[in-house]
Amino acid sequence: MRSAFDFSPFYRDTVGFDRVFSMLDSAVSQGPQGYPPYNIEKTGDDSYRIVMAVAGFGEPELNVTQKEDELLVTGKSQPGAEEKEYLYRGIAAREFERRFQLADHVKVVGASLANGILTIELKREIPEEKKARAIRIESGSSPRITRQ
């Protein structure tokens, strides 16, 4: 499915925003995804949690990977030693791949699986050189310039 909106004119007129338009194009073209269902929670000023319902998957069948500003969660069911005959199968165990675009400086700090719920803890860790700092204002006619 291709979006009805064309982002190519923005690529011509902007510099350095190509990642933003690629993310928008990707989000529009993928459309809504319903499996597996998930929640994104804000647990503090700089901490977040992704909670995914992954019923039917065990720990060895799940993979959580962070590469730069993208979080990838995949589930691949392993065939059981014995085949089962289902009268009704309501628990979906189909393979999935779910991608999340993370904001700058957001890191995965942990993941856990309990009762069919995968919980991924995230934290924003801004480096000291990127944090806001106060600039002292000196009185006088012109600021002092120090050379090294």
Spell out the domain ranges in the chain: 1-32, 34-126
Q: Tens digits of per-residue pLDDT, 41-71?
A: 999 999 999 999 998 899 999 999 999 889 9
Which CATH class name applies to 34-126?
Answer: mainly beta
Give the range with max mean pLDDT: 2-6, 80-84, 132-136: 132-136
Most confident of 15-24, 26-35, 51-60: 51-60
pTM for this predicted structure: 0.68
Residue 3 three-state SS: coil
How does strand 47-53 pair with strand 70-75? Answer: unpaired
Q: Quote the distance between the C-alpha of residue 89 and its chain's center.
A: 30
Q: Which residue has the higher pLDDT, 121 or 69?
A: 121
Residue 117's beta-bridge partner residues? Answer: 53, 114
Q: Which is more confidently placed, 143 or 38?
A: 38
CB-count burial class (<10 Å; 0-12, 13-18, 19+) for 111: middle
